[in-house]
Amino acid sequence: MEFTDFDAELADWNQLQTTHPCSGLLLGNGASLAVWKNFAYDSLFELAQTTRNKPLSPTELALFKSMETENFEPVLTGLKIAMRVNAALTISSSSPRNRYFAIKEALIHGIRSAHIPWRLMEPSSIAHVSKALSQYATVYSTNYDLLAYWAVMHGAQPFDDLFDDDAEFNLHRTDSHATRILYLHGGMHLVKNFDGTARKLQSSESTLMGSFAVNALDDVPLFVCEGRSEDKMKIIRGSDYLSFCHAQLAQHQGALCVFGHGLGKQDRHILNAVLQARPKTLAISVLPRSEAFIQHRKRHYSTLFEGQNIELKFFDATTHPLGSSELSVPVARLKEVRQKKGGDTGQVF
């Protein structure tokens, strides 16, 4: 098809879900942007370099360069290994430990600068997102922010994140009658144990941000945020939890809704998993910005799935519950909250 062969028509989600019910939801950053525009940053690695509070130093950046990655998990894991090796060989160097905490500090402040504060989330918005997610048997999220976590923890609907009562991922307990929520790229509420297993942070705080912000030695954040698709797959293969989630997407049965996910080249591994699952129907959200934009997005997705015998249905993202304008929180509200609390302290959570 030529570009002009694609029309600018988009289905209404409420009608589409009646004729093509989806058992799964693939969630991308567009869903987070619908709530908080500051999630539009290009790179967490860049945020950690430019944050006002304790940004990455040239020494720390040299570590990322030497490991050929912009992801934090492999660098932090490498430093933990170095600390253990030094201890075993009675090497007294404190450099790996210092670099570990410095990188974690930059990561924490980088995320703080972009993430929506808990106190700006209305209970009605959390309930709205929770209800929207609960309509699916499985939610596959590539977002590592806390929006889905908040909806799962504070909503009224039943969810199962496959972590047991001890907050450990249990590979032998993966069946559930509730909506499964699988974090394909990890999340801010997840950490990697030294043996590669995953653990969920436990906190009495409603936001969990207190736990994430604690710069603890044992808590290596488990989320994949930067780099090429093949680099992300290396991290996924090194985690029992992430590799399980990825395999589940590749084995998905039934129609799949793709909301707010561009399936760009940096996420080729996600596209490959969808192609392996080969759902009969894909319902794909598109923002109705202009006729040219709609045609461009239709062509993009159609090219990705060309010759795969997968029916593509395009719908108006704003008609989906996760694209509702009522969810959007003006960034200016943050300034108002800070002023009421006596000025900008830099503390947004």
User: If you write DSSP's letter for every residue of 17-70 in order, what string do you get?
Assistant: HHHS--SEEEE-HHHHHTT-GGGG-S-HHHHHHH-SSSPPPHHHHHHHHHTT--
Distance CA 27, CA 259 (A): 5
pLDDT of amino acid 17: 94
The 10 Å Cβ neighbour count of residue 40 is 10
* 168: DSSP letter: B
Specify burial of residue 1 (Cβ count, 10 A radius: 0-12, 13-18, 19+): exposed
Whether pLDDT at 115 is above 70: yes
Nearest CA among 247, 243, 343, 263 for reference residue 308: 263
Average pLDDT over residues 309-338: 88
Distance CA 310, CA 97 (A): 50
pLDDT of amino acid 336: 67
Mean pLDDT of the chain: 88
Q: How confident is the model at residue 212 (pLDDT cuts 50, 70, 90)?
A: low
Average pLDDT over residues 187-199: 87
Q: How confident is the model at residue 319 (pLDDT cuts 50, 70, 90)?
A: very high
Q: How far is CA 145 from CA 53, 152, 213, 221, 223, in A?
A: 20, 13, 14, 12, 9
Whether pLDDT at 288 is above 90: yes
Buried b (16+ CB within 10 A) or exposed e, 270-302: bbebbeebebebbbbbbbeeeeeebbebbbebe
Average pLDDT over residues 53-79: 91
Whether pLDDT at 247 is above 80: yes
Distance CA 187, CA 147 (A): 10
pLDDT of amino acid 80: 87
